[in-house]
Structure formats: C-alpha cells, structure tokens
C-alpha cells in the first residue's frame, strides 16, 4: 500500500530549500556526501518528528512535534537528511546530517510500503533510550503535526536500536510502549539531586 506522506509546512520547506541553495550552508555541513554530490539535490519525503515526552495510564503516549525531517537525494539515492525546527519566528532550517539513520529510515519506509494497510509515516524519537522509530499512524487523513500514537499504530525501531530491541521489526504501539516505560530512566524532579 502506498504511504500517505503529510506535506511539510511551506515555510519549513522554503527554509530548507534556501539552505540547500546556499553554498556556505552546504560547504560547512558535516556531510561529505552532500558536499561532494555531483548531481542536483532534492528534498524529499518530509516526515514530522515527534518526541516521546512520557507515557501515562490515562492518555497513553504523550508526544510533541519538534520539527520536520527531509531526506536529501542526489543521483537516485539519499545522501543526507535535513531538519527544520519551529522557532519563535516560525519554521527555520536547523541542520544537515548523515549517518546510519538515513539508510535505516529508507529501509523502514520501503518495508512499510509492503504492508496491507495504508499508513501515514512519521518519526518518533525516544530520547531516554537514544532511539528513533518510524511511526506508522493509521489515520492517513490526520494532520501529521498533531496527535499521539494510537494503540494500533506501528512503531518500527530504526538501526541502530537500543540493546534488546530489534531494528526494523514492526511493533504495535500497545506492545512496544510498555516495554519502553520500563527502560526509559525517570526524569528527575526539579530541585532533586541528579
């Protein structure tokens, strides 16, 4: 089934395209593959990036949107990724980067395209575990910037995944979140010793 990719906010895309068109921004990026790309580069597959702030019995997973990530492609392959973030002045380009999550994201997206049910792809970060997942949201008409993981949504841990969690193995949210709650260290209260 095809994935239903949400459109990124126009100002986020504009800020990224401005950075891609800036020789200084590209030259100073820690991305050798982007700097040496011989063919034109394009920004593709915008994915909203949500962060898991916590899990409660009443509301389930509590997430917040932190930005949009784009895969940067050249010559038919992804050479880097770029993040945009929401600032007080609106959407702004944040950074170019490369590394294992780029190939892992593409692999997970290809996996998701083979599933029988259509999904809306998003990214879900679990900072306490240094974990990133492809979040496959079942409501394809939803605003990609809003909402929380539904129990029937799928999470696909990206490689490298934390020890004991298999990368690229889809899990229902209802199955994986309880496992994560036992592994994520508690957030210290304000004023308590760290």
pLDDT tens digits, 159-191? 999 988 999 999 999 999 888 776 665 555 555
Sheet holding 120-126, edge to edge: 90-97, 77-87, 60-74, 41-56, 120-126, 131-137, 154-157, 171-172
Residue 42 to residue 77: CA distance in whole angstroms: 10
Q: Cα separations (Å) of 49 from 20, 71, 134, 182?
A: 20, 13, 9, 23
Average pLDDT over residues 104-109: 96
List pLDDT tens digits, range 26-69. 888 888 999 888 899 999 999 999 998 876 655 667 889 999 99
137 neighbors 122 (Cβ within 8 angstroms)? yes
pTM of the model: 0.90
Residue 142 to residue 125: CA distance in whole angstroms: 19
């Amino acid at each position: 089934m095809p994935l239903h990719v949400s459109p990124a906010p126009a100002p986020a895309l504009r800020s990224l395209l401005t950075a891609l068109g800036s020789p200084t921004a590209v030259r100073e990026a820690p991305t050798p593959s982007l700097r040496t790309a011989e063919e034109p580069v394009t920004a593709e597959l915008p994915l909203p990036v949500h962060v898991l702030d916590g899990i409660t019995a009443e509301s389930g997973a509590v997430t917040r949107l932190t930005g949009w990530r784009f895969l940067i492609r050249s010559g038919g392959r992804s050479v880097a990724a770029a993040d945009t973030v929401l600032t007080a002045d609106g959407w702004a380009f944040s950074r170019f980067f490369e590394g294992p999550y780029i190939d892992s994201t593409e692999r997970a997206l290809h996996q998701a395209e083979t599933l029988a049910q259509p999904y809306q792809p998003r990214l879900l970060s679990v900072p306490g575990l240094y974990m990133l997942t492809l979040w496959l949201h079942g409501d394809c008409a939803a605003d990609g910037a809003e909402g929380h993981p539904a129990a029937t949504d799928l999470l696909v841990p990206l490689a490298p995944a934390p020890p004991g969690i298999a990368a690229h193995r889809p899990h229902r949210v209802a199955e994986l979140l309880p496992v994560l709650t036992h592994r994520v260290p508690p957030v210290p209260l304000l004023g308590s010793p760290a």
